[in-house]
Amino acid sequence: MMLWDLFFTFLKVGSVSFGGGYAVIPMIQYEIESNGWMTSSELQETISLAGMTPGPIATNSATLVGYKTAGLAGALVTTLGMILPSLIAVILLASVFFRFVNNKWLRSVFYGFRPIITGLIVYAAINYGFLSGDETGFTWTTFVTLLICFGCLYAMLKYKLYPIVVLLAAGAAGIILY
């Protein structure tokens, strides 16, 4: 019976998980504490661990809560409950999208999104990568970082290198230079 309770609790949380994982944590906390599955300090440790692991914090939290509460079976049902609503939504949206994929207006909209998304990524890279922290403006580290970026871009375009190789080389260059 506890596995069903875990599943339906996280199905409910996954159904209303708008705003990202950190926005869902208070709901997870309420559900866990009201059911008495974990103490507040245990949940805090679990969420801290979930934040340090790769992947979405809400799903990681659900998995860890399920594991701590009911072992491997608990981890499986809480993870399934958490991701099932999003999975269903993506499948439904994809089926609608593929019906209209050849629509001239929809294609135009998506082509219009490309420069906007590229601009947002470039803005984030400049704003958070080069102008953040105590240093502002153009420094030698900014110059070296830009050289690494352009070198990676050149290597990928000119030599058709696999992105993982370029990523590892850029990481090694960063370690050596900094």
Using H for helix, E for strand and C for coil, what is the string for the chain?
CHHHHHHHHHHHHHHCCCCCHHHHHHHHHHHHHHHCCCCHHHHHHHHHHHHHCCCCHHHHHHHHHHHHHHHHHHHHHHHHHHHHHHHHHHHHHHHHHHHCCCCHHHHHHHHHHHHHHHHHHHHHHHHHHHCCCCCCCCCHHHHHHHHHHHHHHHHHHHHCCCHHHHHHHHHHHHHHHC
pLDDT digits (tens, 9 = 90+) for 91-139: 998 888 888 878 888 888 888 888 988 887 777 667 656 665 555 566 7
Residue 151 confidence (pLDDT) above 70: yes
Q: Name, in order, each residue with C-beta under 8 angstroms of 82's C-beta and a sequence gap of 6 or more.
A: 10, 11, 13, 14, 17, 58, 59, 62, 63
CA distance 51 to 148: 29
Q: Whole-number mean pLDDT of the chain? A: 86
pTM for this prediction: 0.60
Whats the size of the chain, residue-wise?
178
- The string of pLDDT tens digits covering residues 61-88 is 999 999 999 999 999 999 999 999 999 9
Residue 41 corresponds to which tokens in the numbers above?
Answer: 């300090």
φ/ψ (deg, to 5) at 61: -65, -45
Q: Give the model's pLDDT for residue 132.
A: 52
Q: Report which of 56, 57, 59, 78 is spatially closest to residue 67, judged by C-alpha positions.
A: 78
Asked if the model's pLDDT at residue 48 lies above 80, the reply is yes
pLDDT band at 6 (very low <50, low <70, confident <90, very high): very high
Query: Quick one: how far is CA 98 from the chain centroid?
Result: 25
